[in-house]
């Protein structure tokens, strides 16, 4: 019977990616010369889990590569080797290499690469070229050179003798595990002697080559501070498929090189040690023997839950979690969307007067309950997709570190609002634009240490990533304390490129917005980090595709701030139905400030024919939707319509509509995917009567109507939206 392992491969790869993320995050916290043992242990456990899993599934290229990486980590965590900056760099490159090897598995491509071979060579050069010195030997040297007043505890070395009983279940080989690999891993911990027990081996007529019948007794001799947990790590991938008993048989404290040599049993002595007693205490007459009671033999399976809780690769919370495929969540969301549409249809039926009073009352009561349940279900389902933005922020410490080193700049990265949640779909699509903006801040925004000192700043620049909720949106800020944007240089470049005329009177904010024009750049040379500005228009386009906006503010010699505003979800929208003539549109509720009847006495016309309403202490520009949408059957007199005041990008405008209808939830359908992109429209939805209604994009409408320049150049209403459609 064949077994489909593809689903197990997927889990292994996903957990390995999580483990690599944990390794990278902890590596960035390491300081050369000042090693935090907890950080090193976390990195080591993640690497060990990846090695064990890859060996189980036969991905030997990954297992071999991780083994070399693990050896260096083991020497560092045991204090046998000082951590250097080159070690951190090499380990970070190894994380990248392992990611690439995992992607190769996903694409059915060869795992081994030139990079992997090169990195293994570098690891081996470090391991071979600079032999690690045992702390125990260093301490012995200090004894010979120091005074007799030093305490004896500082000069003592410890040798521990362990006995391990390894009894695999018959099906062990079918799990992909090989005992010989385990023994090789044990050799990294200490000197071993392995003895096979063949008592359970059947005769040839009953022998199955796919089953394991051999028990193993292992004598392990370790030096220094080696805990039982470290030995258990070797067997963690087979603990469910074997009986494993580990017991400490003896602990020997020596007082110098001569004693250590005498305490180490020869090869002949090792082969003669009986299984039941690997070391006879009386033969070690130069050592101090500390026997451990037999009760200290522990089955690894008894501490399984404790070991698992320490694994950094796991992202499960204390309350527990399950893995759900994105396609299943998407399907569930689509079903909820259809339920919302069904509810809207039933609401239409509930408005009918053809039913008798009792049935109508019962129907409306049921509809009220359905509405309540639908809302609860929708909110619960949407929470499944919501993830903290820390999943995006986590990639930037490495990015900032690498780029700042390349540019010879000193940079501090601050992360704020990491627990702010947004939809997973939005998160996946916002990562690349953010990377480009951060690269731009590092490359063009922040000065070199000398330039900062000359400007009266600290030599270390700061890049801050901040996220928070505002209404129904998430706001992401990329802030740097660098030189700021040079508005005069931007303006002259824009004039040279024909983007604006010399006579145009633009504010600083309007000039700064020009950096998002295609191909715009003030860079004098091409940079392989953030390019020549060719990506800023792509950044803006990608964010706009998410129904979001991006804007920049800057103060010379103080810094720049890029602000991204995005909807929390792209699936369901709370909206206000409005009519323009016989057509029904939807305005997102989060954009609406207020609705009112117009007092024409407070309406004035300014330059360019722009109508503005004086509302309390503000002047609100008026947009006649029937003009933009080219609907000739709509109300054209201000006093006969309603004004819906909306806000986008901190700018308020008033939309002239005929009538306000109901407020309800709508399932957002992509107009671009089903038809084409339309300026001023963010999507469409199906109403309860089966008709299609368009969702108004407030920011897009403002730009379409030219309100950004209305106060200076006047509005151009000659291009109605219907022509774009």
Identify the CATH number of the domain in which residue 355 sits: 1.10.287
Nearest-angstrom CA–CA distance, 337 and 701: 27
Task: Tokens for 18, please give them.
Answer: 């999580």
**The domain spanning residue 57 has which CATH number?**
1.20.120.160
Both 455 and 488 in a single domain? yes
Q: How confident is the model at residue 323 (pLDDT cuts 50, 70, 90)?
A: low
Q: Return the pLDDT at 266.
A: 36
- Return phi, psi of residue 218, to 5°: -120, 130
Q: How confident is the model at residue 174 (pLDDT cuts 50, 70, 90)?
A: low
Nearest-angstrom CA–CA distance, 96 and 24: 9
Asked whether residue 320 is domain-assigned, the answer is no
| pLDDT (mean) for 354-358 | 72
- List pLDDT tens digits, range 596-636: 998 888 998 887 778 899 988 888 999 888 888 888 776 77
Q: Return the pLDDT at 271.
A: 34
Q: Return the pLDDT at 147.
A: 39
Q: How confident is the model at residue 721 (pLDDT cuts 50, 70, 90)?
A: very low
DSSP-derived secondary structure for 337-384:
HHHHHHHHHHHHHHT-SSS-HHHHHHHHHHHHHHHHHHHHHHHHHHHH
- pTM (two decimals): 0.55
Catalytic residue among 15, 18, 48, 466: 48
3-state secondary structure of 316: coil
Residue 402 has pLDDT above 90, yes or no: no
DSSP-derived secondary structure for 431-451:
HHHHHHHHHHIIIIISPPHHH
Nearest-angstrom CA–CA distance, 725 and 720: 9
Q: Which of 89-93, 108-112, 460-464, 517-521 has the lowest mean pLDDT?
A: 517-521
Nearest-angstrom CA–CA distance, 577 and 694: 10
Both 198 and 293 in a single domain? yes
Name the nearest CA neighbour of 178 among 252, 266, 260, 241: 241
Asked whether residue 681 is domain-assigned, the answer is yes
Name the nearest CA neighbour of 246 among 236, 232, 234: 232
Catalytic residue among 440, 466, 512, 544: 440
Both 247 and 394 in a single domain? no
Q: Return the pLDDT at 480.
A: 95
Q: Return the pLDDT at 319.
A: 40
Asked whether residue 598 is domain-assigned, the answer is yes
- Residues whose CB is less than 8 angstroms from the CB of residue 162 and which lie 6 or more positions away in sequence, other chains included: 190, 219, 220, 221, 222, 228, 231, 246, 247, 248, 249
Q: How confident is the model at residue 459 (pLDDT cuts 50, 70, 90)?
A: very high
Residues listed for the chain? 725
Both 37 and 70 in a single domain? yes
Angle, helix 326-350 to helix 357-385, in steps of 10 degrees: 160
CA distances from 33 to 40, 119, 189, 298, 709 (A): 13, 22, 23, 36, 58
Asked whether residue 259 is domain-assigned, the answer is yes
Counts of helices then strands in the chain (DSSP H, E): 26, 24
CA atoms within 13 A on the CB side of 285: 1
State the burial class of residue 719 (Cβ atoms within 10 Å of its Cβ: 0-12, 13-18, 19+): middle
Residue 246 has pLDDT above 60, yes or no: yes
Q: How confident is the model at residue 269 (pLDDT cuts 50, 70, 90)?
A: very low
Q: Return the pLDDT at 555.
A: 92
Cβ distance 466 to 416 under 8 Å? yes
Residue 284 has pLDDT above 50, yes or no: no
Q: How confident is the model at residue 594 (pLDDT cuts 50, 70, 90)?
A: very high
Higher-confidence residue of 23 and 138: namely: 23
Q: Give the full edge-to-edge strand order of the sheet including 473-480.
A: 410-416, 460-470, 473-480, 559-567, 549-555
Residue 475 has pLDDT above 90, yes or no: yes
3-state secondary structure of 414: strand
Q: Return the pLDDT at 426.
A: 86
Q: Return the pLDDT at 442.
A: 93
Name the nearest CA neighbour of 98 among 126, 76, 125, 123: 123
- Give yes or no: 70 in active site: yes
Number of domains in the chain: 5
Residue 56 has pLDDT above 60, yes or no: yes
- List pLDDT tens digits, range 517-555: 876 765 554 454 554 344 688 888 888 778 788 889 999
State the burial class of residue 297 (Cβ atoms within 10 Å of its Cβ: 0-12, 13-18, 19+): middle
| pLDDT (mean) for 372-390 | 78
Both 405 and 463 in a single domain? yes
Task: Tokens for 235, please give them.
Answer: 């067997």
- List pLDDT tens digits, range 100-124: 999 888 888 887 788 888 898 898 8
Q: Return the pLDDT at 586.
A: 93
Catalytic residue among 18, 24, 70, 239: 70
Cβ distance 271 to 219 under 8 Å? no
Residue 281 has pLDDT above 70, yes or no: no
Q: Return the pLDDT at 525.
A: 45
Task: Tokens for 705, please give them.
Answer: 């109507």
From 542, 567, 592, give the residue that closes a domain.
567
| pLDDT (mean) for 592-598 | 91
- Give yes or no: 631 in active site: no
- The percent of residues in the chain predicted with pLDDT above 70, rounded, is 75
**The domain spanning residue 487 has which CATH number?**
3.30.565.10
Asked whether residue 319 is domain-assigned, the answer is no
Both 406 and 264 in a single domain? no
Q: How confident is the model at residue 353 (pLDDT cuts 50, 70, 90)?
A: low
Both 332 and 264 in a single domain? no
Q: Return the pLDDT at 145.
A: 41
Do the strands 692-696 and 583-588 form a parallel or antiparallel pair, or are they unpaired? parallel
Please give the DSSP secondary-structure letter assigned to residue 419.
Answer: T
Name the nearest CA neighbour of 221 among 278, 300, 179: 278
Name the nearest CA neighbour of 98 among 71, 125, 59: 59
Asked whether residue 314 is domain-assigned, the answer is no
| CB count in 10 Å sphere of residue 237 | 21
Q: How confident is the model at residue 149 (pLDDT cuts 50, 70, 90)?
A: very low
Name the nearest CA neighbour of 714 among 625, 619, 610, 611: 610
Both 155 and 251 in a single domain? yes
Both 347 and 456 in a single domain? no
Higher-confidence residue of 322 and 697: namely: 697
Q: What is the dihedral of CA 485, 487, 492, 498, to 10 degrees?
A: 90
Nearest-angstrom CA–CA distance, 628 and 656: 11
* Arithmetic mean of pLDDT over the chain: 75
**Furthest-apart CA pair in the chain: how many Å?**
110
Locate tokens 């008798």: which residue? 356
Nearest-angstrom CA–CA distance, 102 and 107: 9
| pLDDT (mean) for 579-608 | 88
Nearest-angstrom CA–CA distance, 449 and 486: 20
Q: Which of 38-47, 153-162, 248-257, 367-376 has the lowest mean pLDDT?
A: 248-257
Nearest-angstrom CA–CA distance, 613 and 601: 9
Higher-confidence residue of 710 and 321: namely: 321
Please give the DSSP secondary-structure letter assigned to residue 256.
Answer: S
Cβ distance 725 to 652 under 8 Å? no
- Residues whose CB is less than 8 angstroms from the CB of residue 725 and which lie 6 or more positions away in sequence, other chains included: 678
Q: Return the pLDDT at 418.
A: 92
CA atoms within 13 A on the CB side of 163: 21
Asked whether residue 218 is domain-assigned, the answer is yes
Please give the DSSP secondary-structure letter assigned to residue 5.
Answer: -
Write the Ramachandran bin of 581: left for phi over 0, alpha for psi from -120 to 50, otherwise beta: left
| pLDDT (mean) for 219-248 | 82
Q: How confident is the model at residue 350 (pLDDT cuts 50, 70, 90)?
A: low
Cβ distance 51 to 61 under 8 Å? no
Over the Cα atoms of the chain, what is R_g?
35
- The percent of residues in the chain predicted with pLDDT above 90, rounded, is 15
Residue 221 has pLDDT above 50, yes or no: yes
Nearest-angstrom CA–CA distance, 62 and 53: 10
Q: Return the pLDDT at 526.
A: 44
Containing 42, the helix (H) or strand (E) segment is helix 37-56
Q: DSSP alpha helices (H): ranges in 272-356?
A: 304-309, 326-350
Q: How confident is the model at residue 376 (pLDDT cuts 50, 70, 90)?
A: confident
Nearest-angstrom CA–CA distance, 139 and 144: 9
Partners of 299 in the β-ladder: 245
Residue 416 has pLDDT above 90, yes or no: yes
Both 473 and 350 in a single domain? no
Nearest-angstrom CA–CA distance, 433 and 416: 18
Question: The domain containing residue 337 runs over which residues?
Answer: 326-388
Q: Return the pLDDT at 409.
A: 93
Q: Which of 88-92, 354-358, 485-489 has the lowest mean pLDDT?
A: 354-358
Name the nearest CA neighbour of 43 among 98, 4, 124: 98
Cβ distance 414 to 462 under 8 Å? yes
| pLDDT (mean) for 455-483 | 91
Both 383 and 394 in a single domain? no
From 549, 567, 585, give the residue that closes a domain.
567
Cβ distance 247 to 193 under 8 Å? no
DSSP-derived secondary structure for 526-587:
--TTTTTSTTHHHHHHHHHHTT-EEEEEEETTTEEEEEEEEES-SSEEEEEEEEETTEEEEE
From 89, 113, 132, give the residue that closes a domain.
132
- Return phi, psi of residue 489, to 5°: -65, -40
Cβ distance 692 to 686 under 8 Å? yes
Asked whether residue 366 is domain-assigned, the answer is yes
- Give yes or no: 228 in active site: no
- List pLDDT tens digits, range 637-682: 888 889 999 987 667 899 999 999 988 878 787 777 777 777 788 8
Both 558 and 609 in a single domain? no
């Amino acid at each position: 019977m064949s077994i489909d392992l593809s689903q197990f491969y997927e889990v292994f790869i996903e957990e390995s990616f999580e483990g690599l993320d944990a390794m990278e995050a902890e590596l960035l916290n390491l300081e050369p010369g000042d090693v935090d043992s907890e950080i090193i242990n976390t990195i080591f456990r993640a690497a060990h889990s990846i090695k064990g899993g890859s060996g189980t599934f036969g991905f030997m290229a990954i297992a071999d590569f991780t083994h070399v990486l693990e050896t260096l980590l083991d020497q560092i965590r045991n204090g046998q080797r000082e951590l250097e900056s080159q070690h951190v760099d090499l380990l970070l490159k190894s994380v990248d290499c392992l990611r690439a090897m995992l992607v190769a598995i996903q694409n059915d491509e060869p795992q081994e690469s030139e990079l992997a071979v090169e990195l293994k060579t570098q690891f081996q050069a470090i391991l071979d070229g600079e032999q690690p010195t045992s702390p125990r030997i260093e301490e012995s040297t200090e004894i010979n050179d120091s005074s007799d007043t030093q305490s004896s505890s500082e000069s003592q070395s410890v040798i521990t003798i362990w006995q391990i009983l390894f009894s695999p279940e018959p099906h062990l080989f079918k799990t992909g595990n090989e005992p010989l690999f385990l023994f090789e891993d044990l050799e990294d911990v200490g000197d071993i002697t392995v003895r096979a027990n063949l008592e359970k081996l059947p005769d040839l007529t009953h022998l199955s080559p796919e089953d394991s019948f051999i028990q193993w007794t292992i004598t392990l001799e370790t030096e220094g501070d080696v805990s039982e947990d470290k030995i258990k790590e070797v067997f963690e991938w087979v603990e469910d498929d074997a009986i494993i008993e580990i017991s400490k048989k003896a602990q020997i404290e020596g007082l110098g090189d001569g004693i250590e040599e005498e305490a180490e049993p020869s090869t002949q002595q090792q082969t003669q040690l009986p299984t039941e007693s690997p070391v006879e205490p009386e033969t070690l007459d130069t050592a101090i023997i500390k026997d451990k009671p037999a009760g200290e033999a522990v089955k690894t399976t008894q501490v399984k839950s404790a070991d698992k809780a320490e694994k950094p690769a796991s992202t499960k919370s204390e309350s527990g979690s399950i893995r759900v495929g994105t396609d299943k969540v998407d399907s569930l969301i689509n079903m909820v969307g259809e339920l919302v549409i069904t509810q809207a249809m039933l609401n239409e039926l509930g408005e009918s007067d053809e039913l008798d009073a009792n049935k109508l009352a019962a129907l409306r009561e049921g509809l009220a309950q359905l509405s309540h349940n639908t809302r609860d279900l929708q909110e619960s389902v949407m929470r499944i997709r919501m993830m903290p933005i820390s999943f995006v922020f986590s990639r930037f410490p490495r990015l900032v570190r690498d780029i700042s080193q390349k540019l010879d700049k000193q940079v501090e990265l601050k992360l704020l609002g990491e627990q702010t949640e947004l939809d997973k779909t939005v998160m996946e699509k916002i990562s690349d634009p953010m990377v480009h903006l951060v690269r731009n801040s590092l490359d063009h925004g922040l000065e070199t240490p000398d330039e900062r000192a000359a400007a009266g700043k600290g030599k270390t620049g700061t890049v801050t990533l901040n996220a928070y909720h505002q209404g129904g949106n998430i706001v992401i800020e990329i802030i740097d304390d660098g030189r700021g944007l040079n508005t005069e240089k931007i303006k002259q470049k824009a004039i040279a490129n024909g983007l604006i005329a010399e006579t145009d009177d633009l504010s600083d904010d309007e000039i700064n917005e020009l950096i998002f024009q295609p191909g715009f750049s003030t860079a004098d040379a091409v940079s392989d980090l953030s390019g020549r500005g060719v990506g800023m228009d792509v950044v803006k386009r990608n964010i706009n595709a998410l129904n979001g906006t991006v804007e920049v503010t800057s103060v010379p010699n103080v810094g720049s701030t890029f602000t991204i505003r995005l909807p929390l979800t792209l699936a369901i929208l709370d909206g206000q139905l409005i009519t323009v003539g016989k057509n029904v549109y939807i305005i997102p509720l989060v954009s609406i400030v207020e609705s009112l009847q117009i007092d024409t006495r407070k309406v004035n016309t300014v330059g360019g024919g722009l109508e503005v309403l004086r509302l309390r202490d503000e002047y609100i520009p008026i947009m006649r939707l029937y003009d933009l949408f080219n609907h000739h059957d709509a109300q054209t007199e201000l006093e006969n319509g309603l004004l819906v005041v909306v806000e986008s990008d901190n700018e308020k405008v008033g939309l002239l509509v005929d009538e306000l209808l109901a407020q309800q939830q709508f399932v957002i359908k992509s107009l671009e995917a089903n038809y084409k992109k339309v300026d001023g429209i963010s999507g469409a939805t199906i109403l309860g009567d089966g008709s299609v209604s368009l969702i108004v994009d407030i920011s897009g409408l403002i730009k379409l109507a030219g309100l950004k320049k209305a106060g200076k150049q006047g509005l151009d209403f000659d291009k109605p939206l219907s022509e774009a459609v």
